[in-house]
Every structure is written in C-alpha cells, then in structure tokens.
Structure 1
Amino acid sequence: MIEAVFFDFDGVLTTDKYGSDTTNRYLGEETGLGFVKVDQALERHSEALLLGRASHADIWPEVCRELGREIDYRLLDAAFRSTPMNAGVLNLARQLHGRYRLGIITDNKRDRMDCLRALHGLDALFDPVVVSAEIGLVKTDGGMFEHALRLIGLGAAQCLFIDNSRRNLETAAAWGMATLFHDDERNDAQALRGALERRLGISLAG
C-alpha cells in the first residue's frame, strides 16, 4: 500500500530538464555573455555545489574572474527565480496532498532550492524536501533514498518515486520503492495523472 509519493524537482516539478540550464541561460542573457560561456564557468563547480562542499557565494569570485567581469551576485537570485515551474504536475501534487504524504528528492544546489522553496511555498506541500547539497549525497548513491525513507518514517514498499531519469528510478527501485517515469520532453501531465491513478488505485480530478 503506497502511503507517500516523492517527486524529483527539475524536469518533473519544473519544465527545464536541468536546473543549471535555467540558471545559466538567465545569467547568459542578462549579462550578454551567452549561455555557453556562463555554463562553462559554472560547470567546473557543479559537483561541489551539488554535494554541498561549496555555495555559489564561495565560488562567485572565481566565476567572475573566469568570465572577465564583475557580475552582481544578486543577479543569481533572479536567475533562480526564473525557474519555470510545471503547473500540471504541481496541480497533481496538490490533488494528492492530504491523501498521501508528499516529498521531494533532488540533486540540487542548496541556495537555489532555499530560494525556490520560499518563493513557491513548497514546504507547505512537500515534507521532506531532500536536497543533495544538504546531505552530501546524490541520487545515484542509494544512500540518498535511504535518507529520504528515514526522514519520512516509512518502508520503501510504501513509497512511490517519480523522476525523469530512468537511471535514478533504477536506483530507487533497487531500494524497493515503486517508481514512475515522467518524460520531461513530452511533459504530459495527463499521462502522469493516468499512471498515478492506475498505480495508486484512485481517481484524480481532471
């Protein structure tokens, strides 16, 4: 019996496959430096950011030096806020809320998720929100799922995980969780609704 549904963040609750694409696209456009140059400057820090070994504040001076320009750090907050949320999937989560416990499991930067959790009130809908940078683990490390299960206080067989990465779903399934794949390219919320209804044995409003 499923009692909790966990959602991935980028590519499921947002419409961009990768959060770094959203951030770097915005910074590239606002500075005129272009996506590729900004992406290259930040990509080398990606692992440290995702595992919580560094924050954007820590790396910002080095990023600016590499880009050859002093960029106002406050622009980063605007870049985070530009993240396109996935209204269709969020609506499904709201319909599940109260009937199931809901959570998020995401490989993400801590400061970005802090910004978006506050901006969109995510903590009112999802608990726990498990962020790689807060625990030093990513989804390919099964320990992240173990951590999420410990926080929610349920067994793996009582939890369903939705992700747009089949590799991540395989890891979750290896821990005994039920899984559903969301195709971020199609982003068919109706198809996800139908899959949830069949898996959970419930009816959700259209």
Structure 2
Amino acid sequence: MSYKAILFDLDNTLLNYSMSELKSMQNTVEKHGLIHKATFSWNTFWALFSDVNFRYWNERLVSNYTIYQVLEYSFRDTLQGLALDHSEARLLSTLYWETFCRACDFEEHAMEILTHLHGRHKLAIISNGIGEAQRSRLAAGGMNHFFDALIISDEVGYWKPDKKIFDEALRQLSIDRSEALFVGDSLRDDYVGAVNAGIDFCYYNRAGLPIDADVRPKYVVHSLMNVASLLGN
C-alpha cells in the first residue's frame, strides 16, 4: 500500500514518555528538597503518586480539571497519604510541569525514522497529551520541523479513540483516510481510534506484548525502523 501520510502517536511511540516522567519527577523532588525529608521514601512516593495521578488524569474530562489542577491535587493527595506536609503541592506541581515540558527522551530510532520519512511522506502527530507540553518537548528535541501538522487533543477538543481527531488530521493534511497510516503503541486509544476512523494502523509493540486474537492491526512492528521496511522505502 502506498501512503501519502504517516501519522504518529507521540508518547511512548516517538518520545519515551515513561522515561521523561520518571526523570522529571526525580529532578523535582531533588530540587525542591523533598527527597531529603527524614521520612521520605522514593519508591513509596512514586508508587502512590503514580496511582493517584493516573486516577485524576483519567477523570479530568468529567471533572473538567486543567493539567495544573490534576498535578496539584495529585501531589496534595500523595503527600497527605504519606503524612508529609502538603502545603507546597502547588509549588511542586509547577516545578514538575516546567521540568517535564523541557524533557525530551527519544524512543529508540525515532529520529532515524523521521529523518528517513521526511520529504517522502507528509508527517503528523495525533496525541492525547497537553499542547503546551507536547509542543515544548518536540522543540526541545529539535523534532518539530519534521511535521506538517500537530493534532493535540486539548487544542482540538477531541480525544483518541474518537474518530473526529483523526478526521481533523486528514483535513489538515488534505488527504483521504485510505492514504494515511497511523503508528501508535496503544491498542485502546490508537488501534481503536484508527479502526473508528477507517485508517490503517501499525502497532508499535515496543514491549513485545501478546495480542488478543480479536485485535487485528494491519501491521505490527517492534522497532520504529521497521516502519520504513513495511512502506517499502
């Protein structure tokens, strides 16, 4: 199949979100001095924060919380849960967000595949992230010049797997859905979204996870460089 455009998810597809999140939090608690509290345990803190933050993030559309509220409440609840002073939750959340927005940890072969595809295909990102962070991280990594369009959920008002966010990408690129391939790491958001939108999907199975029999992505790759091979260029 000859595609005019290759659409990419961003987090844990082109950028290693998990690594950036971890390093940003480690830098935050170190810079703030939280890590030096006598009762502070990094492993306990990180495990609790991850659970609390995941809940607030998943509920953000119902609660109508901004990313700043999600982070502040996540720090507040975590510190309270650990019997630590939660009065500086807002300060910590601001420090973390500023640090994270400057973080750019590449997924393996991300720059190579973008360099290879650039000029051969239109390139775009479809992300469920926050525009402020996604644009800043791309700029920090020197990646933003690769893309003809950035479609980010909090900017367009649609979230994967809603087909409308894919339709917006097609509109901005002036292509038909049959002319696009979407590459992503999530079967819940990326695969289902691509199916909803009638776009071919390439599953970047970065962790080598088993795939249920009823899930049938058009392509499966374990390395981003394999995307070039399946395109035949």
Of residues 166, 173, 197, the one that matches 1:175 is 197
TM-score calculated relative to the size of structure 1: 0.78
SS at match of 1:38: helix
The equivalent residue for 1:197 is 229
The equivalent residue for 1:13 is 14
Displacement of 1:41 in angstroms is 3.9
Is the contact between residue 181 and residue 202 of structure 2 (CA under 8 Å) also seen in structure 1?
yes
Aligned length: 197
The equivalent residue for 2:67 is 56
The equivalent residue for 2:170 is 149
SS at match of 2:206: coil
Distance in 2 of aligned mates of 1:82 and 1:166: 25
% identical equivalent positions: 20
Is the contact between residue 105 and residue 148 of structure 1 (CA under 8 Å) also seen in structure 2?
yes
Amino acid at match of 2:191: L
The equivalent residue for 2:21 is 23
Displacement of 1:183 in angstroms is 1.2
Distance in 2 of aligned mates of 1:126 and 1:48: 30
Output one character per residue of 1:115-173: Cα deviation in whole Å (capped at 9) or x when no partner: 21321233211121111111221111111111111111100011111011234224313
Compare CA radii of gyration and give the structure with the larger one. 2
Note if 1:100 corresponds to 2:110: no
CA 1:190–1:91 in structure 2 vs 1: closer, same or farther (change >3 Å)? Answer: farther
The equivalent residue for 1:118 is 139
Displacement of 1:48 in angstroms is 6.3
Displacement of 1:185 in angstroms is 1.4
TM-score calculated relative to the size of structure 2: 0.70
CA 1:149–1:157 in structure 2 vs 1: closer, same or farther (change >3 Å)? Answer: same
SS at match of 1:105: strand
Gaps of 5+ in 2: 36-41, 80-84, 209-219
The equivalent residue for 2:56 is 45
Is the contact between residue 7 and residue 183 of structure 2 (CA under 8 Å) also seen in structure 1?
yes
CA 1:134–1:48 in structure 2 vs 1: closer, same or farther (change >3 Å)? Answer: farther
Amino acid at match of 2:144: D
Distance in 2 of aligned mates of 1:144 and 1:125: 20
SS at match of 1:81: coil
Aligned residues: CA RMSD = 3.0
SS at match of 1:85: coil
Is the contact between residue 56 and residue 111 of structure 1 (CA under 8 Å) also seen in structure 2?
no
Is the contact between residue 12 and residue 185 of structure 2 (CA under 8 Å) also seen in structure 1?
yes
Distance in 2 of aligned mates of 1:99 and 1:119: 24
Distance in 1 of aligned mates of 2:128 and 2:75: 25
Amino acid at match of 2:131: R
Displacement of 1:93 in angstroms is 1.0
Displacement of 1:83 in angstroms is 4.5
Output one character per residue of 1:83-130: Cα deviation in whole Å (capped at 9) or x when no partner: 421141221111110111111111112332132132123321112111
Distance in 1 of aligned mates of 2:73 and 2:224: 42
CA 1:194–1:36 in structure 2 vs 1: closer, same or farther (change >3 Å)? Answer: closer
Displacement of 1:44 in angstroms is 3.7
Gaps of 5+ in 1: none
